[in-house]
Amino acid sequence: MQRIERVERVFWLEMGVLACSAPLLYFPERFPGWARLLALGLLAAGWGLRRIALGRWRVSTPATPALDLLILLLPLALWAAPEPLRQRYSWPRAQILLWNYCLFWAVVTHASRSWTLFRLNAVGFFTAATGIALLAPFGIEWLDKFAALRWVVERFPPLLVGVFRGAESGFHPNQVAGTLLYALPLMAALSVAGLRRSGPRGRWLLLPATALVGGVLLLTQSRAALLGLAVGLLVMALLPWRWGRGALVGIGVGLALLLPLMPPMWLDLLNDAPTVAALGGTQSLGFRQRIWTMALWGLADFPFTGMGLGTFREIGPLFYNLDIPPAYDIAHAHNLFLQTGLDFGLLGMVCLIAVYLAAGVQLVGSWASLPQARPWVIGMVGGLVGQLVFAQLDAVALGAKTNVMLWLYFALVFALGNRAAQRRVREGFGGIIDRANRCAA
């Protein structure tokens, strides 16, 4: 009992350390230069506390090699970025990415140790999503896509517009939607599970939080996120049934065969950005095709180092003339995996793909070994599928301020996978002991 209480105390201490260091690395322009060193010292102290309390630096996950390699590529991504873009884009993103990496290991290590800590970290994940949903509408640069929602979005005063560096004109609604998409399917799955059976009173807090997050995602009018959410919810609805899992396999094969024959009018439904006049009136999908072409050329020219962390938004249009006006900020490659390749090189893109694959494997193992946690698995699968769809059309790039939700999501997935592995080990030892007792008898 004392050991458990000690671990929980260290968990809270480490969360406090991370909370204190976050503003120093997320908003370095508002603090003196020595604050960065203080923040890095705090992060190191968190690792030291964990090592002393648990006797280890971290737990193991199937994604450990890929994540470590991605962080080892960070100095190369900084070196590849030319000045002054390194100071403007690369260093701020690198600091946030390093903090997210430390947060990931703190969460996955502690959440793997007990269900109490797992649920505490899940509450933190849901609280972060709810907080973003509460604040973001007051700083979003709303796009006029659905006339029916115009009256609603115009009611939010722009209190946060111009407050944050890099988003002086407001947050892009697609970035907000992609961020919330990590949490919404899991929140929805647990809300439905809570309604179907008597459970903790916390479900009455989760229900309004889920409605809030879903409502804000709808108000962003991001078609990429709404498409990802629809696909994720469809998978969640079919996953619990044997015939549903067969139907999912059939749907996947059918889409793979029919995608090349999809009518252009269906693709036009993905339009979620204003017309770019300099592109000859090209709508969102055509604009994305040009950006993807530019990104592929960039990967071909910088396969080992990438262009430098966060610099594609300026180097891409400069190197590859696709009739995009210099004043138009393309922001990123509008594909998470392409953007990661441009930031870290092809090896970095492979690392991110490996993390997604490892998460899928962990969820399969959790489904088989933890029947009581299947609502969690269903929600996590919905989030993974939804984000994979969104990531093909847009990106919340690594190092972006709201990319913390990606790291929290994966930390919970791998912590659940570790809990499932621990149960398989216990059951394996139990079977060995039973067989030994039968032999002795």
Q: How confident is the model at residue 285 (pLDDT cuts 50, 70, 90)?
A: low
Domain boundaries, the chain: 1-57, 64-440
Residue 121's contacts (CB-CB under 8 Å, 6 or more residues apart) are 107, 110, 111, 408, 411, 412, 415
Q: How confident is the model at residue 146 (pLDDT cuts 50, 70, 90)?
A: confident
Local structure of 262: helix, strand or coil: coil
Please report the pLDDT score of residue 121 as a whole number: 95
State how far the alpha carbon of 220 is from the alpha carbons of 42, 152, 317, in Å: 36, 11, 27
- pLDDT tens-digit profile of 209-248? 999 999 999 999 898 999 999 999 999 999 888 888 788 8
Higher pLDDT, 287 or 97: 97
Q: How confident is the model at residue 1 (pLDDT cuts 50, 70, 90)?
A: very low
> What average pLDDT does the chain have?
85
Asked if the model's pLDDT at residue 147 lies above 90, the reply is no
- Yes or no: say if 334 and 222 are a contact pair by the CB < 8 Å rule: no
Q: What are the DSSP E strand ranges found in 126-218?
A: none
Please report the pLDDT score of residue 436 as a whole number: 42
Please report the pLDDT score of residue 289 as a whole number: 81
**What kind and span of H or E run contains 105?**
helix 91-111
- Yes or no: say if 47 and 102 are a contact pair by the CB < 8 Å rule: yes
Report the b/e string of 239-264 with b at 16+ CB within 10 A.
beeeeeeeebeeeeeeeeeeeeeeee
Q: Give the residue-averaged pLDDT of 105-124.
A: 93
Rounded CA gap, 89 and 144, in Å? 29
- pLDDT tens-digit profile of 266-279? 555 555 555 444 44
Please report the pLDDT score of residue 22 as a whole number: 94
198: how many CB neighbours lie within 10 A of its CB?
7
Rounded CA gap, 424 and 420, in Å? 6
Higher pLDDT, 274 or 189: 189
Local structure of 282: helix, strand or coil: strand
Q: Give the residue-averaged pLDDT of 355-363.
A: 95
- Yes or no: say if 311 and 81 are a contact pair by the CB < 8 Å rule: yes
Burial (CB count within 10 angstroms: exposed 0-12, middle 13-18, buried 19+), residue 38: middle
Alpha-helical (H) ranges within 241-373 are: 242-258, 264-267, 284-301, 312-319, 336-344, 346-369
Please identify which residue in the block is written with the tokens 């450990």: 64
Q: Give the residue-averaged pLDDT of 338-344.
A: 95
Please report the pLDDT score of residue 151 as a whole number: 78
Write out the DSSP string of 347-412: HHHHHHHHHHHHHHHHHHHHHHH-GGGHHHHHHHHHHHHHHHHHHHH----TT-GGGHHHHHHHHH
pTM (2 d.p.): 0.90
Q: How far is CA 407 from the centre of its chain?
A: 6
Please report the pLDDT score of residue 118 as a whole number: 94
Local structure of 171: helix, strand or coil: strand
The four Cα atoms 116, 121, 127, 132 give a dihedral, to 10 degrees, of: -170
In the DSSP assignment, the letter for residue 324 is -
